[in-house]
Every structure is written in structure tokens, then in C-alpha cells.
Amino acid sequence: MTDTRKRPAPQDDVRGLEEGLRALAHDVPPEGLAERIAGDLRALPPPRRSPLLRLRELLPRPAVTWAYRLATLLLLGGILWGVRDLVSVRRRSETAPGQAPGVSLVSGGKGPEAPSKVRVTFVFKAPEAGSVAVAGTFNDWDTAKDPMSRGKDGEWVLQMDLAPGQYEYQFVVDGTRFVPDPNALEEREDGLGNANAVLRL
């Protein structure tokens, strides 16, 4: 039915491309380019240190280091506080019917404490697709690691157990085409003209 007999695995293709890119010959600048640039730069006014960096240099090194550490701690504390709220909001919303987008959640914990893993079901409808996978921050955007199974009516399904946290993902159709989750509750620009679905657990 399909023509997969002698074709190399997708990851082998990719490895070959990685090697090909590494092996591309280095392009050499025309003779005298560096000297010409250096000469042109001499005509410019000398650069000045930015006032912010100058201030940082005036402060003793340990003070700067401790200021960074303190700021990081405060930031982490704020994030943890926010995540705690979100998890509890999500748990409450799980019980509400009609909330299921392309992803449905089943908490793996018992009692009020946060679960160590959360079962997530990805669902994507693509009757015309030959294969669908999920790629995201949970698998380093690997397009081959988490393939979905074809269900009835052209629905592709995959269950995963993920640690609580925030993830971004897209569906990968036929190995190369990235498709945003049409049912995502939250999206974030991926910088390439598409939107990653945001999953908060």
C-alpha cells in the first residue's frame, strides 16, 4: 500500500543532512576585505562604554552576584506560586464537562497533593494523513519520537504521561508538516509564522 520498502529512516536522512551541513566548504573572503573594513572603522568615533555596564563595574563583584541570585530566587518563587494556582485551577476545570480540546487530562495523583505525572491524551483529526506525531518541548521537538495511532473517523490519538509543567507542541503530519492544534486553549507565536499550542499541567 505504501512505498516504504527501500527508503532510509527519516532520522538517517536527517543525520546525513547534519553531516552535509558540517562538511560544506567554508567560503573564503576576498583578499584585503579585513584590511578595508579595519581602515573604514578608523574613521568612526571611538565606542563608549554603556552607563549601565559602567555602573555594574563600579559595584563590587560579589554584590552584583548576590543581586542576581536574589532576583532569580524571587522570580522562581513567583513562578512556583503561579504554577500552584494554575494546577489547582486546571484540576477544578477537569471536572467541568465540555472542556476537552485536542488534549484531555487525567490527573495521576490521589488526594490534594500535586501528581508526579499527568496523563495527557492528544487527539488530532486528519483523515487524509499517512502519519501524525506530536513534537514539542517535552521531546525536544523530535518529529519521530512520539507517533500517534490512527483511530476511527481519521482521528489520531496518543496518550503520554507528563510531569506537571508548561509545554509547547504542534502536530507533525506526514513527517514534515507542522500543524498547530486547532483546539488549543492557549497559543504562543513560534517566530515562524505559526502558533505553538501551550499545555499547562
Partner 1 sequence: MLVENVLNGDAESFTPLVRAYTPPLYNLAFKMTGGGESAAEAVQETFFRAYRDLGRYDGRARVLSWLYGICVNVCHDAGKRSRKAREREEPIGDGPGESLAAPGPDAEETMSRRQEEGRLRGCLQRLPGTLRAALLLRYQEELPVGEVAAQLEIGVSAAKMRIRRGLEMLRGLCSEGPRGGTP
Shortest Cβ 171–partner 1 spacing (Å): 13
Nearer to partner 1, 48 or 110 (CB): 48
Nearer to partner 1, 58 or 192 (CB): 192
Q: Are residues 157 and 193 in contact, defined by beta-carbon separation less than 8 angstroms?
A: no
Nearer to partner 1, 8 or 109 (CB): 8
* H or E stretch at 197: strand 195-200
By CB under 8 A, tell whether 38 contacts partner 1.
Answer: yes
Q: Are residues 67 and 75 in contact, defined by beta-carbon separation less than 8 angstroms?
A: no
Among 47, 60, 97, 98, binds partner 1 (CB under 8 A): 47
By CB under 8 A, tell whether 192 contacts partner 1.
Answer: yes
Nearer to partner 1, 5 or 152 (CB): 5
Size of the site for partner 1 (CB under 8 A): 46
Q: Report d(CA 30, CA 108) in Å as an integer.
A: 63
Among 118, 122, 124, 143, binds partner 1 (CB under 8 A): 143
Q: Which residue bears the cell 484531555?
A: 104
Shortest Cβ 78–partner 1 spacing (Å): 18
DSSP states along 164-194:
SSEEEEEEEETTTEEE--TT-SSEEE-SSSS
Q: Which of 173, 102, 171, 170 is nearest to 131 (CA)?
A: 173
Q: Report d(CA 157, CA 122) in Å as an integer.
A: 6
| Contacting positions for partner 1 (CB under 8 A) | 10, 13-14, 17-18, 20-30, 33-38, 40-42, 44, 46-50, 53, 135, 137, 140-143, 168, 172, 175-176, 178, 190-192
